[in-house]
Amino acid sequence: MPSFKAPLYEMLVRHAECNPGSLHVPGHQYGKALDKLPDSVREDFSRMMRLDVTELSVTDDLHHPEGAILEAQRLAAQLFGAQETFFLVGGSTVGNLALLLSHCKRDDIVITQRNVHKSIINGLALSGARAVFAAPQIDKDSGLATVPSLAQLEEALNGYPDAIAVMLCNPNYYGMGVSLKQYVELVHNYNKLLFVDEAHGAHYGLHPDFPESALAAGADAVVQSAHKTLPALTMGAMLHIQGERIDRNRLRGTLAMIQSSSPSYPIMASLDLARAVCMEQGPNLFTEAIEAAAYLRECVQSKLPWLSLLSLNPESAGLPAGASFLGTSGLGSRESAAFNHTDPLRITLSDQTGTLSGYDWLKELEGYGWWAEMADARHCVLLIGISCNRRDMDSLVKALSAISEQYGLGSREIKGADVRSTVHWSWEGLSLSSPVRIPAPADEVPRAEWVPLQEAEGRICAEMITPYPPGIPILYPGECMDHGIIAVLQSLAGHGAKIQGASDPSLIHVKVYPR
C-alpha cells in the first residue's frame, strides 16, 4: 500500500510549525487575530487558519506552480489518469468557464445539451460563442434527462461542421449516466474537442463498482467537483486534460484570469489530501459506503415497498445495456439507451402512492436529522458519503419508516411509476436548435414584445422557458422559435405544466425580440 503523501498539505504544516510572524495577508494572521473573538469561534477556526496563508517564497503559487502545488497537481493527474491536472478553488464552475473562454471566440459554435449546468450557459455568454442545443434523452420510467443520443449528436456534428467543441454533462444530479467511449469516438471522428462536466463523478473509476470516468473514456477535458464526493472542502475541484487538442497555454492563462489571485490554501490542501487518501487506500476507501448504500436499497425494497428506487433498467431505457450499433460514419446505428449506469452511492427515492412529493420527503427527513442532497417534485436524492455505514442506514430506515407510518403509506394504493406525471412527453418532436447566442450582462438587448404563441414561429425568443420538473430549458433567449418548439410549448400548456422563466406561465403569449 502506498505511503500517505500530501506535499501541499505537508508544506503548509511545516510552515505553520515555524510559528511565522505575519506581516502579510490574510488579516487573521495564522488565526492569531481570533483572540479578539469569542472562544467558540477561536476553537472552530484557529487550527484551519494556521494553514491559511498567501503566496510566500515557501508556499508556491497556484498560477505559476513550481513547488508543492505543482507536485500535488502532478500526483492528482497520476491518480485520475490525466496528462495534466489543475486545481480549482471556485468549484467546477471555474473549470467550465475556463474551457469555453480559452477555446471559443465570438460566434464560434459549441454543441451542447439543453440540460447543462448554468456555468456552461454563463461561459457561452461571456465568450460570445453560440450554442447548438441538443435535446437530452429522457428515461421513460422516471422522466429524468441524461445526455443527448448519439444519433442527435451526429446530426449536430453533420449540420454544424464548423463547431469548435462538444460539451456534455455526465452523470446528471441523480447519478444517471452513459458510457462515453462511443461519444468520444464519434466526436473525435469529426476532429472536435469533447469537454465533459463530470462534476458529480469525481469518484468515478476509483472503485470497480463505480462507472468509468470520462477521462478514461478518452474525453479531452474533464471537470470534477472533488468536494461533492471526495473528502475535500467546498469549492475544491479539478480540471483534467489529455491529448493534443487542448490549447494548454491559453487554458492556463484563462484560469489565471478567472480564479482568484489569492486562492485558498486550505481548499487546495484539501484537494491534495483527498487525492492522497484515494491513492493510499485505493478502492477500500469506498467499500463501506458502497455496502451501506446496497444495504439501504435492500431495506427499502423489503420493508418500504411503496418507495420506488431509481435503478438501471436497460429495457425501459431503450436497449439492452452494452448494445452495439452500426451507423453512417461506421460507428453504428445511433439508437442508444437513455442511460446505462447509475452511481451506486446515489439513492433516488419516490413515493409510489402519490402522497408525498420529493420536496416533502426532503423536509420530513430533516425533522429526523437527515439532510438530503436535493429533491424535485417527484424524487428525493440521498448521497451516501464515504463516512456512511450500516448503522447510519438503520437510522435512516427508521426515519423513512416513521414518516411512512405518519402518512399511512403502507395502507395506500401503490399506483406505479406514473403516480407523478413524468415529463418525457414534453420533449417529443424537439429537434436541434439553431445556433443561439446567450446574451451577456453587458450586451444591449432590444426591448421585447409579447406575441401569441401560435404567431411566434420564426421569431427570436426573449426569455428562458423552463418546465419544472425537470427544470431543463425548452427555450433560451436568442433561440429561433420553430414549428416543433411551438408544438412542444402548446403540449406543455395543454397538460398544465408548471413553467419557470416565462412572463406568461400559461404560455398563451411569449416574449420575443422585435423583427
The DSSP code sequence of 489-515 is HHHHHHTT--EES-SSTT-SEEEE---
Q: Which of 259, 281, 303 is the last residue of a domain?
A: 281
272 and 314, same domain (yes or no): no
341 and 478, same domain (yes or no): no
Please give the mean pLDDT across all residues of the chain: 89
CA atoms of 4 and 273, how far apart (whole Å): 9
Residue 1 inside a domain? The answer is no
> Average pLDDT of 485-513?
87
179 and 147, same domain (yes or no): yes
Residue 421 inside a domain? The answer is no
Which CATH number does the domain housing residue 143 bear? Answer: 3.40.640.10
128 and 217, same domain (yes or no): yes
Which CATH number does the domain housing residue 491 bear? Answer: 3.90.105.10
pLDDT at 130: 96
CA atoms of 137 and 139, how far apart (whole Å): 7
pLDDT at 416: 64
Q: Is the pLDDT confidence value at 52 over 50?
A: yes
CA atoms of 165 and 243, how far apart (whole Å): 14
Contact 136, 472 (CB under 8 A): yes
123 and 190, same domain (yes or no): yes
> Average pLDDT of 241-268?
97
Q: Which of 234, 264, 281 is the last residue of a domain?
A: 281
270 and 288, same domain (yes or no): no
Contact 206, 286 (CB under 8 A): yes
Q: Is the pLDDT confidence value at 92 over 80?
A: yes
Domain of 403?
A: 284-411
Residue 426 inside a domain? The answer is no
Residue 181 inside a domain? The answer is yes
Residue 101 inside a domain? The answer is yes
Burial class (CB in 10 A: 0-12, 13-18, 19+), 436: buried
Instruction: Give, in degrees to the nearest 5, the angle at Cα 452 between 451 and 454.
Output: 125
Residue type for position 111: I
Residue 423 inside a domain? The answer is no
Residue 2 inside a domain? The answer is no
DSSP-assigned beta bridge partners for residue 167? 112, 195
CA atoms of 117 and 290, how far apart (whole Å): 27
Q: Phi/psi at 453 (nearest 5 deg)?
A: -55, -40
Total tally of structural domains belonging to the chain? 3
Contact 77, 222 (CB under 8 A): no
Q: Which of 281, 315, 348 is the last residue of a domain?
A: 281
Give residue-wise pLDDT tens across range 418-463: 434 444 445 555 678 889 998 887 777 778 899 999 999 999 999 9
Q: Is the pLDDT confidence value at 325 over 70?
A: no
239 and 128, same domain (yes or no): yes
**H or E segment and range at residue 111:** strand 109-113
pLDDT at 199: 96
DSSP 285-316: HHHHHHHHHHHHHHHHHHH-TTEEE----HHH
Helix (H, G, I), strand (E, B) or coil at 441: coil
145 and 186, same domain (yes or no): yes
256 and 318, same domain (yes or no): no
- pLDDT-based confidence at residue 142 (cuts at 50, 70, 90): confident
Which CATH number does the domain housing residue 387 bear? Answer: 3.90.1150.10
214 and 65, same domain (yes or no): yes
